[in-house]
Homo-oligomer: A and B are copies of this chain.
Amino acid sequence: MSTILKATPRERLLRAAADLFYREGITATGVERLCRAAGVSKRSMYQLFETKDELVAESLALFGADVLADYLPGEAAGLTPRERIVHVFERLEALAGDPAFRGCPFVGTATELKDPAHPAALVARARKQELTDFFARQAALGGADDPETLASQLTIVFDGLAARAVVRGSGVGGLAVTTASVLLDAGGLRAG
C-alpha cells in the first residue's frame, strides 16, 4: 500500500494545499481544485477546516518546518558557526537554480495575502523569525560584534536572493555565498 493511500484526508489536504499554493498561488487554487488534488470531498474538507484561510495557515505551519530543515546544516556536520551560516546560502544557491523554485514560501504567502494580520501571515512571520534566530545563534557563537543585527541583515540578503530568482527565473547567479560573506566579514564573524 502506498504512502498516499495510508495518509488521512486531513494529511492529504494539507499536503495538496502546501504544494498547490506554492506552485500555483493561494487565491488561484480554488477549493474544488484542492479537493480534487487531495482526493477529498468538499463536504469532508469543510468538516476538517472551517475556512480555506485556516487550511492556508495550517499547511504553511506544517510544511514550513520541512522547508526550513532543507536549508539548515545537520547537527552532526562538524561545521564552524560561520560555515553553518554559509551552508544556508549554499543551499539557497542550489535550490534557487531549480526551475520549480518559486521563492521563499513564507515571503510568498505574506506577499500574496497582503494582510499582515491573516493567520497564515502570522505563521510566515514566525517561521521567518526561526531562520533569523538560527543566524543570530551562529553569529553569537562565531564572535560577531552585533549578532542580532547581522542575523537580520543575513535574512534580508536571503530574501533578496530568493526574490532575484523569482523575478529573473534563472537562479541567483553565484551571488548567494559571496553577498552573505561580505556581511559576515563586516560583522566580525570568525572563520574558525
Contact = CB atoms under 8 A, between A and B. Distances in A.
Interface of A: 23-25, 27-28, 102-104, 106-108, 110-114, 116-117, 121, 124-125, 128, 149, 152-153, 155-164, 166-169, 173, 175, 178-179, 182-183, 185-186
Given A114-B23, A114-B24, A106 B167 contact: yes
B110 A112 contact: no
A175 B151 CA distance: 11
Contacts of A112: 25, 111-112
Nearest to A116: B169
30 contacts: A23-B114, A24-B114, A25-B112, A25-B114, A27-B27, A104-B163, A107-B166, A108-B111, A110-B167, A111-B163, A111-B166, A116-B168, A116-B169, A117-B169, A121-B169, A124-B167, A125-B167, A125-B169, A152-B175, A155-B164, A156-B160, A156-B179, A157-B157, A157-B160, A159-B159, A159-B163, A159-B167, A160-B160, A162-B163, A179-B183
